[in-house]
Structure 1
Amino acid sequence: MKISNQNKTLDLTYPQVMGILNVTPDSFSDGGRFNHIDAALKQARAMIRDGATIIDIGGESTRPGAAQVSEEQEIARVIPIIEAIRLESDVWISIDTSKPQVMKRAVAAGADLINDVRALTVDGALDVAAQAGVPVCIMHMQGQPQDMQDNPQYCDVIDEVADFLNERIAQCIKAGIKRENIVLDPGFGFGKTMAHNFRLINQFNRFLDFKLPVLAGLSRKSMFDHLLSLKVDERLASSLTGALLCAQQGAHILRVHDVKETADMLKIMNTVASATH
């Protein structure tokens, strides 16, 4: 399993760590910490040093109830840090956006992957992503960030998430995106209750049926607060546990805030898996 752009390939034989870099003032976990270029670049360097092979840069918070930002605002936030990282590193850079013009500008600045919580459903996004020629990550979300946690309901969360992803895969291919360059994300915490989220973990390997890379993004999610009454900065152990459970079921990419701890966990998991003699 691998994803490729014009210049390089990312081997997904073993799970890769995607480090979260929110250059926003209001993200749920680290809002305001890295919305200045020097702090953001310092954090990116630290995540690369700690084992991240992908840096996921977001300029608009998608936490429940988050306010929308303009295209111009988002571009102003993300492009300088993409350019700065690209100048000094060949690490994979992911742009976390739903806006077509942000995608276009980010790829031109050096981004290698488009990570879209709206699964390229915004008008023009499919065409821009196809023309960019880079891999895409499409995520399931019920509703929008402003209302997604207002009593989300499913007949069967696994089947409905899978059906949505199947439909979006078809649309991506129709638009000209290579099937092998589509990454799937079931969307933990995006229009799901705590019960829905834990069922997604329980049956995470169902999403491997698509024979495509699958991303797990559980880092510091409120599901752990609902279960264990933990504040955001107290969720390291629960985040690692969720990531490990998904990795053991075949997750190819783990999207996390705590890169070093996740990389250490994966090293132990892979060492145990290979210790057959």
Structure 2
Amino acid sequence: MSGETLPSGMISPVRRIGRREFDFARQVAIMAIVNRTPNSFHDQGSTFELDTAVAAARRAVDDGADWVDIGGFAFSAAQAQIGVDEEIERVVPVIAEVRKATDAVISVDTHRPEVARAAVEAGADVINDTNGLREPGMAEFAAESGVSVIVTHSLGGPGKRVLRPSYADVVSEVAGFLRERVAYALKSGIAEDRIIIDPGHDLNKNTFHSLELTRRLEEITAIGYPTLVALSNKDFIGETLDRPQDERKEGTIAANVFAILKGARILRVHDVAATVASVRMTEAMLGWRGPRTPSHNLA
């Protein structure tokens, strides 16, 4: 096995998450995005109806996704606020239906502990918190339930407007935030083999910030926990290439492969089939897996 891109000292690279096991020393997990929101960043509400959301999740698993991330409240500040009950009504029926159909990992994208509790009771395995466990009660519930958590960097959190975000050094500041929130998670009783980190590309960051985070991603993976990156079709790719959202697939694939080489081990994506092919090829070139249909003809 090639070890060049295994972050030094990764904590518990072999993990049981939900019903699946991952070896992050030689494997990249692919997380499919299913947003049950009327105003999501990429799909603009195309999976808002329950049946379309469930169908999208099943299709993603059929296309090779290891993981489905289900959210009911977008990160953007450009949206109407919704209550806890409405967010629960959006995500829980999807989680319950998807849980019946697959053993893939299911995460709930929420920053509210009440939503997280309802989602876990419905079958979710992971809490994906873009607020970095800052909502009172979230870390305590995660510890109590024993589920995995994704601790993400953002300045303001979901639904909060941050004008002209600025950093003296975006990478060191994001790393410092993640270290502090991981310490809080551990103090709250969350086991270290249940923690995943995410630097939060484009979350209260401009294109230059997100490019710098990607360029120096090894400084984030060096924190020691498996690192998720959510780069798919984001504005930093669109602005770099001058492409609208529906023309960012190639840029997304390039950014994801680069992130793997820098130590990322979970990719949150929209285009599952294309990502699966690019990731499996990357894993093979790194010596982590062999060809699926090798030829033994030496002529």
- Which TM-score band (shorter chain)? over 0.9
Matched position secondary structure for 1:21: strand
Task: Specify the code of the residue in structure 2 equivalent to 1:193.
Answer: N
Q: How far did residue 28 of structure 1 move?
A: 1.3
Q: How far did residue 21 of structure 1 move?
A: 0.3
Task: Specify the code of the residue in structure 2 equivalent to 1:52.
Answer: A
Q: Which residue of 1 aligns with 2:183?
A: 170
User: How many matched pairs?
Assistant: 277
Q: What is the aligned counterpart of 1:9 among 13, 16, 21?
A: 21
Which segments of structure 1 move beyond 6 Å, counting only runs of 4 or more? Answer: none
TM-score by length of 2: 0.88
d(CA) in 2 for partners of 1:235 and 1:63? 20
In structure 2, do the counterparts of structure 1 residues 22 and 178 end up closer, same or farther at CA, with 3 Å as the change threshold?
same
Alignment of 1:121-132 (within 5 A): 121-132=134-145
- 1:219-267 residue CA offsets vs partner (Å, 9 max, x unmatched): 0111122222211111111111111110111111000001110110011
In structure 2, do the counterparts of structure 1 residues 5 and 239 end up closer, same or farther at CA, with 3 Å as the change threshold?
closer
Deviates more, 1:137-146 or 1:123-132: 137-146
| Structure 2 residue 256 is matched with structure 1 residue 216 | no
Alignment of 1:73-112 (within 5 A): 73-112=86-125
Matched position secondary structure for 2:57: helix
% identical aligned pairs: 35
Q: How far did residue 55 of structure 1 move?
A: 0.1
d(CA) in 2 for partners of 1:155 and 1:214? 23
- 1:87-140 residue CA offsets vs partner (Å, 9 max, x unmatched): 121110000000101000100110000000001101111111111110100000
| Structure 2 residue 37 is matched with structure 1 residue 37 | no
Is the Cα–Cα contact under 8 Å of residues 253 and 275 in structure 2 kept in the other structure? yes
Q: Which residue of 2 aligns with 1:238?
A: 251
Q: How far did residue 149 of structure 1 move?
A: 4.9
d(CA) in 2 for partners of 1:174 and 1:7? 26
Q: How far did residue 205 of structure 1 move?
A: 1.1
| Structure 2: unaligned runs, 5 residues or longer | 1-12, 291-299
Q: What is the aligned counterpart of 1:203 among 206, 216, 223?
A: 216
d(CA) in 2 for partners of 1:241 and 1:228? 12
In structure 2, do the counterparts of structure 1 residues 5 and 46 end up closer, same or farther at CA, with 3 Å as the change threshold?
closer
d(CA) in 2 for partners of 1:80 and 1:43? 14
d(CA) in 1 for partners of 2:40 and 2:274? 21
C-alpha RMSD of matched pairs (Å):
1.8
- 1:197-237 residue CA offsets vs partner (Å, 9 max, x unmatched): 00001011111212210001010111122222211111111
Q: What is the aligned counterpart of 1:140 among 128, 141, 153?
A: 153
Alignment of 1:11-30 (within 5 A): 11-12=23-24, 13-30=26-43
Is the Cα–Cα contact under 8 Å of residues 149 and 193 in structure 1 kept in the other structure? no
Is the Cα–Cα contact under 8 Å of residues 150 and 197 in structure 2 kept in the other structure? yes
Q: What is the aligned counterpart of 2:204 among 174, 178, 191?
A: 191
Q: How far did residue 6 of structure 1 move?
A: 6.9
Q: Which residue of 1 aligns with 2:84?
A: 71
Q: How far did residue 10 of structure 1 move?
A: 3.4
Matched position secondary structure for 1:274: coil
Is the Cα–Cα contact under 8 Å of residues 218 and 256 in structure 1 kept in the other structure? yes
Task: Specify the code of the residue in structure 2 equivalent to 1:233.
Answer: D
- Higher helix proportion, which one? 1
Q: What is the aligned counterpart of 1:120 among 128, 133, 142?
A: 133
Is the Cα–Cα contact under 8 Å of residues 106 and 123 in structure 2 kept in the other structure? yes
Is the Cα–Cα contact under 8 Å of residues 19 and 105 in structure 2 kept in the other structure? no
d(CA) in 2 for partners of 1:5 and 1:272? 26
Q: Which residue of 2 aligns with 1:150?
A: 163
Q: Which residue of 1 aligns with 2:260?
A: 247
| Structure 1: unaligned runs, 5 residues or longer | none
In structure 2, do the counterparts of structure 1 residues 65 and 271 end up closer, same or farther at CA, with 3 Å as the change threshold?
same
Q: How far did residue 268 of structure 1 move?
A: 1.1
d(CA) in 1 for partners of 2:275 and 2:78? 28
Matched position secondary structure for 1:32: coil
Q: Rg bigger for which structure?
A: 2
